[in-house]
Amino acid sequence: MQDKIYTVIMRGGTSKGLFFKKEDMPFFSDKEKRDRIILSLFGSPDPMQIDGLGGSHSVTSKMMIVEPSNRSGFDVGYTFGQVAIDKPLIDYGGNCGNLTSAIGVFAIDEGMVKAEEPITILNLYNTNTKKKIIAEIPVENGKANVEGDYAIDGVPGTGAKIVTRFVDPGGSFTGSVLPTGNVIDEINTGLETVKCSIIDVTNPVVFIRAEDIGLLGDELPSQLNTNKQMLAKIERIRSAAAEIIGIVNDRRIATDISPGIPKIAFVAKSKNYITSLGKEVTKEEINLVARIMSMQKMHPAYAVTGAMCTAAAAKIKGTVVHSVVSDPNSEKIVIRHPKGRIEIGVKMDSNLEGKDLRVNEVIVDRTARRLMEGYAYYII
């Protein structure tokens, strides 16, 4: 017999997901039951997610569970889950920067917090990373105002600008900006040896130079996602890094146990290019070229937490990212991705090094809106 749960479909940045109120989940503490219900709602595992609400891509197979926070100094708490498409798994290992931009919109419209015009400032607590995010949400007539003239590459049209500030985002998973203590590590997968930088800011990310694995750096998803040998190589490197920083105790199980964390990105120096949408971007408009993987496929744009980590890595001397970035001292780091560009602000103590390295804040501007609300049905 089917049962139902109140659900809102939200777009946040270049991602889309199902949002739930924790109060509607009396089964929340029963992880096994909770995950079975969520998998049923998404229609996973199935490449098409035809029997659920998942969108058959990693950026549309995400969920948030939201509640008013009872923690001192916080307004809203939320838990992110990356719902696997082809396996019965939900990865709670990290946070989603894109969907984080929709948390405040959801909380205001659901009456979880008091709305104040013209901007409501909310202190968010992410349970995955145990970190604070400050969100600035435009408000009009007691509801989140989602209309405006701000545009982000990867989303058609415009919307109201939502500013999110990730406070002290270093060591989100590993406890340190440099999980190994090194700015450069050498990874041997058994089939290849590559130099990389493993940085943990908002989410841990493994950075490699595109040229070191036989890529140019400006590949599009349609090109890379059909190259099975290259996908396997990138995943071998990511899996080895997962073992090195202790996310898994055996790299051979990383794909099955922790497919989303750490993320892996490859970077290259600025160059002129045409986006997957046919838009021309010149090398003078950007600081570097980068591509990031999402659940073993190239992200169609760029993960926001990955972009924040990339921007922080660009300012750390000696890293792979620092070696390719133009003007690492600029106030904002502009990253070129398949659909355009993303700008990230970084504030950090430049005089600290090694294990004392600290990132004070990373900032990104996004848009978000509610797409649908109602009851979603599931079978367990």
Q: Are residues 161 and 201 in the same domain?
A: no
Amino acid at 209: R
Question: Do 219 and 83 share a structural domain?
Answer: no
Answer yes or no: is 176 within a domain: no
Lowest-confidence segment of 137-146, 196-205, 269-278 by average pLDDT: 269-278
Asked whether residue 106 falls in the same domain as residue 200, the answer is no
The pLDDT value given to residue 355: 65
Does 48 reside within a domain?
A: yes
In a domain, 316, yes or no: yes
pLDDT at residue 350 tops 70? no
Q: For residue 111, what is the domain's CATH number?
A: 3.10.310.10
Q: Are residues 131 and 194 in the same domain?
A: no
- Indicate if 274 and 327 belong to the same structural domain: yes
Indicate whether 199 and 248 sit together in one domain: yes
Mean pLDDT of the chain: 94
Instruction: Give me the pLDDT at residue 206, please.
Output: 98
Mean pLDDT for the stretch of residues 110-137: 97
| Mean of pLDDT values over 121-148 | 97
Question: Cα dihedral angle (154, 322, 91, 295), rounded to 10 degrees?
Answer: 60
> Which residue range is the domain that position 307 belongs to?
185-355
- 193-202, 239-248, 341-350, 358-367: least confidently modelled range: 341-350
Instruction: Summarize the confidence of residues 233-251 as an average pLDDT.
Output: 96
124 and 196 belong to one structural domain: no
Give a yes or no: residue 360 inside a domain.
no
Stated pTM of the model: 0.93
- What's the rounded mean pLDDT across residues 84-91? 95
- Alpha-helix residue ranges (DSSP H) falling in the chain: 31-42, 97-109, 221-224, 228-244, 254-257, 304-314, 320-324
Instruction: Flag whether 179 is in a domain.
Output: no
What is the total count of domains within the chain?
A: 2
Assess whether 69 and 159 both reside in one domain. Answer: yes
Of 174, 38, 30, the residue nearest 94 (C-alpha): 174
Same domain, 152 and 226: no
User: What is the rounded average pLDDT of the residues 104-128?
Assistant: 97
> Is residue 168 over pLDDT 90?
yes
pLDDT for residue 352 is more than 60: no
User: What pLDDT does 88 receive?
Assistant: 96
Q: Is 174 domain-assigned?
A: no
- Residue 336 belongs to some domain of the structure: yes
Residue 25 has a pLDDT of 95
In a domain, 175, yes or no: no
- Torsions phi, psi of 331, nearest 5? -60, -40
296 lies in the same domain as 337: yes
Residues 342 and 373 in one domain: no
The answer to whether residues 303 and 371 belong to one domain is no
Please report the pLDDT score of residue 271 as a whole number: 82
